[in-house]
Chain A
Amino acid sequence: MTAIELQIDRVSKAFRTGRGQIGALQDISLEVAEGELVCLVGPSGCGKSTLLSVVAGLEPPDAGQVILDGQPVQGPGPERILIFQDGGLFPWLTVLENVTFGLRERGLPLEERRQRAMEVLRLVHLERFKDAYIHELSGGMRQRVAIARGLVLSPRILLMDEPFAALDTQTRDLLVEELRGLHEELKNTILFVTHHVREAVYLADRVVLFTFQPGRIKHIYPLEVPRPRDPDDPSLEALVREIVEALHVEVERALNEEYRRA
């Protein structure tokens, strides 16, 4: 692999709530190489979204730091784009205006903004919908716009928080395939949170499994099989089963913990 691009260095984060302290992340260290696609899996509430927010600079860590290209991350910035679970697209703008939003903040001239946005919209097959408003799109189309809105800024790191969770399986499979193609073409570094182990194994260079509260890295599974991968490959199948079993242990622990508290 090439140089280390992103370094998550002993990051911890706890939330104080009415019901006491919740240890969302504890001592997370992870190094991500340039162009690497890392999938994060773990039980609900283990801190995956929190980790992405910390890397995005939207939440400060309690301890530790995130280092990008040798520089510690301080606050949000367009070289680290977070794509939210439900899109976070702006309903007052058209598809094209959503995609050009970040370029406008960068001060690019109108013509160039349009041109770049249209290129990216073509990548996600939405150029025909450039003038639509967000509420006129289907859920899958919205996620593609959200991805285009991130991609157009050519971020060093794309942080994707279960971007396909709300979609049906068919659309989901299509978009996963689309994402794989995009990654192959653009070679962005991607941190991808998902609940689908199969999807993670299909996409990732490494799959990172989290434990539940405090959120720690339990295990990292490297994948050497070149992409595109055959979803029915027996060696992948075995790994999927292994991760699913390990995940089940954590999910059970999470549930027990939650019942015990309740």
Chain B
Amino acid sequence: MRKAWLRRGMFYLALLGLWELVFRCKVWPPYLFPSPQQVADAIIAGFQDRTLPIGIAISLRRIGIGYGCSIVLGMVLGLMTARNRVFEETVGSLILALQALPSVCWLPAALLWFGLNDQAILFVVLMGATLAMAIAAHDGVKGIPPIYIKAAQTMGTRGLHLYTRVLLPASLPAVITGMKQGWSFAWRSLMAGELLFVSLGLGHLLQMGRELNDIAQVFAVIVVIVVIGLVVDQGVFAPVERRVRMRWGLTLPDWK
């Protein structure tokens, strides 16, 4: 564990060194390729003039709402398609079909429907994460050994309890993996959506960097977007996933 962190740290340090080296060799002109120092300064400046914290807050708020709704909606859709043949054949096939479409393609339609506002972006986020979530939940429930359901039924489980006390916990490992995937879909969809019109979020700051010809700012925002995505993935999902898999007895021993 500690070793892994050490290796990771060394790797990123080396990467930073390489970046600095490329900058110093002047492979590309500085207005196209900033130094690590310039990017760090841009991040600090962004925090000082509050544009970054505000952008982060706006984007996080959007993803909170959009992703939260996606999870609920995706779970419901996944459970329904997994348990009902007709739903699976109809709605299920539609979900699979739509999953092939990058969610940002919905933006033009969303702008026409909702106008230039948050709802349009939320719609894009929803389309990005809900489908992935629904598919994961569907597969998770389908993969539950029937013996669990039978055992519960003989013990008197009926109706809604079958979902809340058996299907949901039994598919939780798969569902969490789906949530993790849904998160990255949601985050990517949000950034794509925010890029495309004046929206005040991080994606918009990225676009502003381009308009101002400020490559350091563009890089600074990219770094922030990546870090947020990574922190949520590694800081929230990875430990939860590990805990659940351990409790469900799904982990393999580590060979040293």
Residues on A lying within 8 angstroms of B by beta carbon are 56-58, 75-78, 80-82, 84, 86, 88-93, 101-102, 104-106, 133-136, 149, 153
Give the number of residue pairs across the A-B interface with Cβ within 8 Å: 67
B214-256 near A? 1/0 per residue, CB < 8 Å: 0000000000000000000000000000000001110000000
Q: Are A105 and B155 in contact (CB under 8 A)?
A: yes
Q: Are B155 and A92 in contact (CB under 8 A)?
A: no
Check B60 for interface membership: any CB of A closer than 8 A: no
Q: Can you show 14 pairs from A to B with CB atoms below 8 A apart?
A: A56-B154, A57-B154, A58-B154, A77-B156, A82-B150, A82-B154, A84-B147, A88-B150, A89-B151, A90-B148, A93-B169, A101-B155, A104-B165, A135-B248
Q: Which residues of B contact A89 (CB under 8 A)?
A: 151
Q: Are B169 and A102 in contact (CB under 8 A)?
A: no
Assembly CA distance A56 to B156 (angstroms)? 12
Check B208 for interface membership: any CB of A closer than 8 A: no
Assembly CA distance A80 to B150 (angstroms)? 12
Assembly CA distance A230 to B165 (angstroms)? 45
- Which interface class (under 10, 10 to 19, 20 to 34, 35 or more) fits B? 20 to 34
Assembly CA distance A57 to B157 (angstroms)? 13
Q: Are B154 and A91 in contact (CB under 8 A)?
A: no
Give the residue name and chain of the B residue nearest to A94 (CB). B247
Q: Are B153 and A92 in contact (CB under 8 A)?
A: no
Q: Are B155 and A102 in contact (CB under 8 A)?
A: yes
Give the residue name and chain of the B residue nearest to A134 (CB). B249
Q: Which residues of B contact A153 (CB under 8 A)?
A: 155-156
Check B152 for interface membership: any CB of A closer than 8 A: yes
B142-175 near A? 1/0 per residue, CB < 8 Å: 0001011011111111100100011001101000
A80 touching B154 in the complex, CB below 8 Å, given contacts A135-B248, A135-B249: yes
Q: Which of A58, A82, A102, A149 is close to B156, meaning CB atoms less than 8 Å apart? A: A102
